[in-house]
Structures are given as structure tokens and as C-alpha cells.
Amino acid sequence: MIQLTAATLTSEAFGPYGQVIWPEDDGCDWRLGDAELDLNQGLPRFYLMQLAAKELRVRELAAHRQVTQCLGVMDPYPWQIAVAPASHSAEHPIDATTEIQAFTVPPRCILKLHRGTWHAGPLFQSPSELVFCNLELRNTNSTDRSTLPLLPGQEAEISL
């Protein structure tokens, strides 16, 4: 089992995979910290997902090539995500020892994943269920979801 240590989430550390959207005062024009969305490949879908707690294990990653995706927790609890660069090829398994980065995501922020960013999560262990907001395309999971396994024998676990 490969151990992935969850890094502290910063805009700089998460930059290769997407953007971290932090709370800001209302009433301002567009800012550098606003999400730069690409939803022009279909009809956007914004919804709330109720997810049950899961082991912090990564067996495969998923990517959406046609859309940026935004994820954030509605509850006051942190969660985890594992990510790999969008440039990684879908034809080759991912090497968990060198190509995956894990993060702990605090409440009160939203992650915007770049188009094609490989990801596993949201993952969390406690409490037993959380509610997440999700912005993607209406048909993302049926027409724009690729999965990529880890190398054989490289199941990974996120350690906090």
C-alpha cells in the first residue's frame, strides 16, 4: 500500500491541478481568485451531492476532458482529494509513488479542477456523510468520464 501524505492546501500547491476559490467580500468585479470556468461543451449542472464516508484509498482516478469541475463541501468538515496532472495519458496506469498528490481541503473553499485533471474524491472518513456542491456538465458522468487505474499493486492510501 502506497502512503500519500495529504498536503496543506494552498493556491500555489494546487495550481497545476486547478484553482482554490477562497471566500471574498461581495460586491467586487472579477478578481484573479475567481474560478475560471469552461462549461461551453454542454449544459452546466450545479447540484448538491450527499456522499457517505469512504476509506481514504485510491484505486483509480477519473478525469473530465470537456469541462472544468468545481467541488466544495457544504458542511463544516475537511475532506481529501488525490490529483494527477491533466497531461497524463489515459492509456497508461498512474504511478502512485510519483504522479499523485493528495490534499486536505478545508471547509469554506471550493476547488475548481482544470479540464482533464485526474482525481479521486471527495474522500473523507468522518462524519458518516457530507453534502458537497458540484458544478460540471449535465452529462459529464455519462459522456465525459475517463478512468485510469494505478499501476498493479499500487493501491494508495491518503494519510492525514
Count of other CB atoms within 10 angstroms of residue 4: 22
Q: Using CA atoms, how far apart are residues 118 and 111, in angstroms rounded to an integer?
A: 13
Q: Using CA atoms, how far apart are residues 122 and 144, in angstroms rounded to an integer?
A: 18
Query: What value does the mean pLDDT take over residues 31-58?
Result: 88
Residue 89 is classified by DSSP as -
Domains and CATH numbers, the chain: 2-23+35-159 (2.60.120.480)
Supply 42's cell numbers.
Answer: 454542454
pLDDT in tens, 72-112: 999 999 999 999 998 877 677 788 888 899 999 999 999 99
CA distances in angstroms from 20 to 29, 32, 43, listed in the order given? 18, 11, 23
The candidate with the shortest Cα–Cα distance to 100, out of 133, 57, 66, is 57
CA distances in angstroms from 46 to 21, 127, 133, listed in the order given? 16, 24, 7
HSE-up of residue 48 (Cα within 13 Å, Cβ side): 7
Tell me the pLDDT band of 156, cut-offs 50, 70 and 90: very high
Answer whether residue 8 shows pLDDT above 80.
Answer: yes
pTM value is 0.91
Q: Using CA atoms, how far apart are residues 55 and 158, in angstroms rounded to an integer?
A: 9
Phi first, then psi, for residue 70 (nearest 5°) are -115, 135
Supply 97's cell numbers.
Answer: 509513488
Q: Which residues pair with 157 in a beta bridge?
A: 3, 57
